């Protein structure tokens, strides 16, 4: 394919009547001040979407536009372009087509990137247009460290061998970065953060160790390894979280903090004895990530409008339901951030505190000292709050206190584990909450 021609994006979008001349002048002024790319400034101002820009470029250059959301790339071909170069040039190798390699680029008019990619791949290339957001998601998904994790797991298995494991000596190497267990955990955390996993499951089976990530509410197999490394991994994680390493018969809970890819991660860990060893599940809370706003949650416009109206009310209960990792807390915090003003007293009762939000009083539940949801909720009601967030309705007592608070002039946010929205009301009644309380308090599910 011949090198693509250089086009002026702003003029192209005005010509195709996707933006007005006034909008173009406005973003050009912003671009001069910020130094960002014109397309990004246009998208951030809401004048146009990434899809529209890509489709306009494809039409002008007479090349295909590929929606990566529905594209299943060939991993071997994708990895033929090194990750750092893929990120630098905002490009991804996609497939063989007509004797050439099809490469998706966010800016196919970048002639320097085109020449460099051709040189790196040592191939003739054809270009397609892709959006930047979808391209970065694809890069994060494809350039994962599964092979490295599997290799480290095999290395640990070989080191441990078939004989007796000196756990004392193993625990002395906690700070040694070269230790295979530490390298495995570090690599596993990096991969989990890269793909946006909310939970990591380390599960010993009869003949293998299974490691799974929960991504967008669904569990995905990350890797499988020899089952004999399970105890070494569980031991290291228990040491990191300050748990009793000699106790393997009882469940234990703990927490620790790690820094991964320059991001602070708060890790909540739960260990539980199973038939083939200790199962360890970790909840990853990324403190570096800012939570989403309501506009970015993906709600349909009419639903978003109704939700905004409901959270502005002075009393009632707003419930968000769904499976683990589906975004219940993220949705509630997006709502809280919208009503977090100086004239509102907001208290949250959570286990754990998942986001830090300035101006809000956040309380961490601690069952070990009998600081339960119901006890904190009772105390919170004496703090003259306007809005209360209860992390989860776990029992009838907490549900009834929350309902009474909603009936007596407080706006209460909470979550519940149900299969669907309609089943929420029946679940509350099943928990022992009187029907009249449910009918008068629940504003939105």
Structural domain includes residue 341:
yes
CB atoms under 10 Å from CB of 157, counted, come to 17
Do 216 and 322 fall into the same domain?
Answer: no
The SS3 assignment for 21 reads helix
Beta strands in 296-345 (DSSP E): 316-321
- Distance, in Å, from the CA atom of 301 to the CA atom of 50, rounded to the nearest integer, reads 19
Do 309 and 437 fall into the same domain?
Answer: yes
- Distance, in Å, from the CA atom of 354 to the CA atom of 230, rounded to the nearest integer, reads 28
Residue appearing with tokens 């009419």: 302
Query: pLDDT tens digit string along 80-101?
Result: 888 888 888 888 888 888 788 8
Half-sphere exposure of 257 (CA within 13 A, CB side): 7
Tokens of 384: 């003259």
Residue appearing with tokens 């190497």: 173
Structural domain includes residue 153:
no
Give the residue from 286, 310, 338 where a domain finishes: 286
* CATH code, domain with 214: 3.30.450.90
Do 226 and 347 fall into the same domain?
Answer: no
Do 329 and 430 fall into the same domain?
Answer: yes
* CATH code, domain with 60: 3.30.300.160
Answer yes or no: are the C-beta atoms of 285 and 265 closer than 8 Å. Answer: yes
Do 308 and 435 fall into the same domain?
Answer: yes
- Distance, in Å, from the CA atom of 190 to the CA atom of 210, rounded to the nearest integer, reads 18
Range 55-79 average pLDDT: 81
Do 433 and 301 fall into the same domain?
Answer: yes
Res. 173: pLDDT tops 80: no
H or E stretch covering 114: helix 111-121
Do 179 and 203 fall into the same domain?
Answer: yes
Do 392 and 422 fall into the same domain?
Answer: yes
Query: pLDDT tens digit string along 183-222?
Result: 888 888 888 888 888 899 999 988 888 889 888 778 888 8
Res. 382: pLDDT tops 50: yes
Do 313 and 206 fall into the same domain?
Answer: no
pLDDT of residue 169: 42
pLDDT of residue 193: 85
User: Confidence class of residue 281 from pLDDT cuts 50, 70 and 90?
Assistant: very high
- Distance, in Å, from the CA atom of 39 to the CA atom of 133, rounded to the nearest integer, reads 12
Q: Residue 412 contacts by C-beta under 8 Å, 6 or more apart in sequence?
A: 316, 317, 318, 387, 388, 389, 390, 402, 403, 405, 406, 441
Domain count, the chain: 3
pLDDT of residue 1: 55
Range 238-262 average pLDDT: 84
What mean pLDDT is reported for the chain?
80
Q: Which residue range(s) make up the domain with 197? A: 175-286
- Distance, in Å, from the CA atom of 189 to the CA atom of 33, rounded to the nearest integer, reads 37
Is 338 exposed, middle or buried (CB count within 10 Å of its CB: 0-12, 13-18, 19+)? middle
Give the residue from 265, 286, 307 where a domain finishes: 286
Structural domain includes residue 144:
no
Res. 436: pLDDT tops 60: yes
CA separation, residue 308 to residues 27, 110, 387 (Å) = 29, 42, 15
Give the residue from 89, 117, 136 where a domain finishes: 136
Answer yes or no: are the C-beta atoms of 279 and 272 closer than 8 Å. Answer: yes
* CATH code, domain with 425: 3.40.50.300
Of the candidates 284, 285, 305, the one whose C-alpha atom is nearest the C-alpha of residue 294 is 305
Structural domain includes residue 132:
yes
Structural domain includes residue 335:
yes
How far is CA 104 from its chain centroid? Answer: 25
Ramachandran region, residue 425 (left: φ > 0; alpha: ψ -120 to 50; beta: rest): alpha
Query: pLDDT tens digit string along 285-341?
Result: 877 665 677 887 778 888 888 888 888 888 888 888 877 767 788 888 888 888 888
pLDDT of residue 200: 92
Do 193 and 92 fall into the same domain?
Answer: no
Residue appearing with tokens 């504003």: 443
- Distance, in Å, from the CA atom of 131 to the CA atom of 242, rounded to the nearest integer, reads 45
Tokens of 43: 């998208």
The SS3 assignment for 177 reads coil
Do 252 and 318 fall into the same domain?
Answer: no
- Distance, in Å, from the CA atom of 9 to the CA atom of 27, rounded to the nearest integer, reads 12
Structural domain includes residue 101:
yes
Res. 152: pLDDT tops 80: no
Structural domain includes residue 242:
yes
Structural domain includes residue 130:
yes
User: Confidence class of residue 164 from pLDDT cuts 50, 70 and 90?
Assistant: very low
Do 274 and 318 fall into the same domain?
Answer: no
Answer yes or no: are the C-beta atoms of 46 and 91 closer than 8 Å. Answer: no
- Distance, in Å, from the CA atom of 283 to the CA atom of 281, rounded to the nearest integer, reads 7
């Amino acid at each position: 394919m011949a090198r693509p021609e250089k086009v002026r994006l702003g003029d192209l979008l005005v010509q195709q009547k996707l933006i007005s001349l006034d909008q173009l002048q406005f973003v050009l002024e912003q671009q001069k001040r910020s130094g960002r790319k014109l397309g990004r400034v246009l998208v951030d101002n809401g004048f146009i979407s990434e899809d529209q820009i890509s489709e306009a470029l494809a039409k002008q250059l007479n090349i295909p536009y590929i929606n990566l959301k529905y594209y299943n790339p060939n991993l071997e071909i994708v990895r033929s372009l090194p990750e750092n170069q893929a990120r630098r040039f905002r490009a991804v190798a996609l497939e063989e087509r007509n004797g050439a390699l099809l490469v998706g680029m966010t800016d196919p008019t970048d002639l320097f990137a085109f020449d460099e990619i051709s040189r790196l791949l040592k191939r003739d290339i054809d270009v397609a247009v892709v959006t930047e957001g979808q391209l970065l998601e694809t890069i994060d998904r494809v350039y994962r460290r599964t092979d490295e994790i599997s290799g480290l797991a095999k290395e640990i298995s070989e080191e441990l061998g078939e004989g007796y494991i000196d756990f004392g000596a193993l625990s002395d190497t906690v700070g040694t970065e070269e230790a295979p267990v530490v390298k495995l955990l570090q690599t596993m955390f990096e991969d989990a953060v890269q793909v946006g996993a909310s939970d990591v499951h380390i599960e010993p089976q009869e003949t293998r160790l299974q490691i799974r990530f929960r991504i967008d509410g669904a569990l995905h197999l990350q890797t499988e390894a020899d089952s004999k490394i399970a105890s070494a991994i569980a031991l290291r994680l228990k040491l990191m979280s300050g748990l009793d390493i000699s106790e393997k018969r009882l469940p234990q809970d703990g927490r620790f903090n790690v820094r991964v890819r320059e991001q602070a991660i708060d890790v909540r860990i739960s260990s539980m004895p199973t038939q083939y060893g200790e199962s360890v599940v970790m909840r990853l809370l990324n403190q570096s990530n800012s939570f989403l706003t309501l506009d970015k949650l993906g709600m349909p416009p009419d639903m978003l409008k109704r939700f905004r109206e409901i959270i502005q009310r002075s009393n009632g209960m707003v419930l968000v339901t769904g499976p683990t990792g589906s975004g219940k807390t993220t949705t509630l915090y997006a709502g809280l951030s919208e009503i977090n003003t100086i004239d509102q007293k907001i208290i949250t009762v959570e286990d754990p505190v998942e986001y830090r939000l300035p101006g809000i009083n956040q309380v961490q539940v601690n069952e070990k000292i009998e600081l339960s949801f119901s006890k904190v909720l009772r105390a919170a009601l004496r703090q003259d709050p306007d809005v209360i967030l209860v992390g989860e309705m776990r029992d009838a007592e907490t549900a009834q206190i929350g309902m009474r608070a909603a009936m007596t002039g407080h706006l209460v946010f909470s979550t519940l584990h149900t299969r669907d929205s309609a089943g929420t009301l029946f679940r509350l009644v099943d928990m022992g909450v009187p029907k009249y309380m449910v009918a008068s308090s629940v504003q939105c599910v």
